[in-house]
Amino acid sequence: MLLLTWALFSVDVCLAGTPSPFGRKALAGRFSLGFHPSFVKNNNFLFFTHLGYGLNSSMSLTSHFSFQNTPFDAYAGLDLRAALLNHDRIKLDTYLGAHLGGLGNGYDAGAICNVDFFSSVGLVMAIDADILSGKNSANSPVHFIAGLDIPITRNMGFILNNAFALNRAAYRGFSGGLILFL
């Protein structure tokens, strides 16, 4: 509860956007639908939605959209996520993509590691980089994300993430996301 309180009242505004809620990707031939709200200081609210599709057993494609009441632009992006390691309890993925809006247009890249514990509850760790283009290229944020991936039912999961800034352009943040597998 202390971590949740600290995170909700100490986060900075999300400028560049974020990829899909870190956790499990859509399975082959199935869709995932994610909802990823964040409340940030100064009463700013950001709401991300994600729609993913499993292309095969090791790749998925995910689109992202944000709606927010902040002075920053809305966000739309698309990324391709691929499995590098798919062990029984340890999964390592990488993703590449592009986005429009947020702090500026650009590219996304990162790596996600899921380690399952206790009936599939997982620890999630990720490195996320937004490589901005044009006049904002010097403000490209890089984050380390840590969180929990909690299955609720076979077709629904909940993600809690805390983003840590790895450079000056990055932000600190806390979010929760609900993912439905259709």
Considering Cα of 63, then 76, then 102, then 178, what sign does the dihedral take? negative
| 77: its two tokens | 């992006």
Q: What is the pLDDT along the chain (182 residues), one digit of tens a residue?
A: 333 333 333 333 343 345 555 667 778 899 988 887 775 545 566 777 888 999 998 999 988 888 765 545 677 889 999 999 988 888 899 999 998 877 678 898 999 898 888 767 888 899 988 888 877 667 788 889 888 888 888 889 888 888 888 888 777 777 888 888 88
Q: Are 67 and 9 in contact (CB under 8 A)?
A: no
10 Å CB burial of residue 137 (0-12, 13-18, 19+) is exposed
Output the pLDDT for position 25.
75
C-alpha radius of gyration, the chain, whole number: 15
CB count in 10 Å sphere of residue 104: 20
Number of CB atoms found within 10 A of residue 44's CB = 17
Position 72 scores a pLDDT of 55
The whole-number pLDDT of residue 3 equals 36
Residue 18 CA to residue 34 CA, distance in Å, equals 12
pLDDT at 9: 37
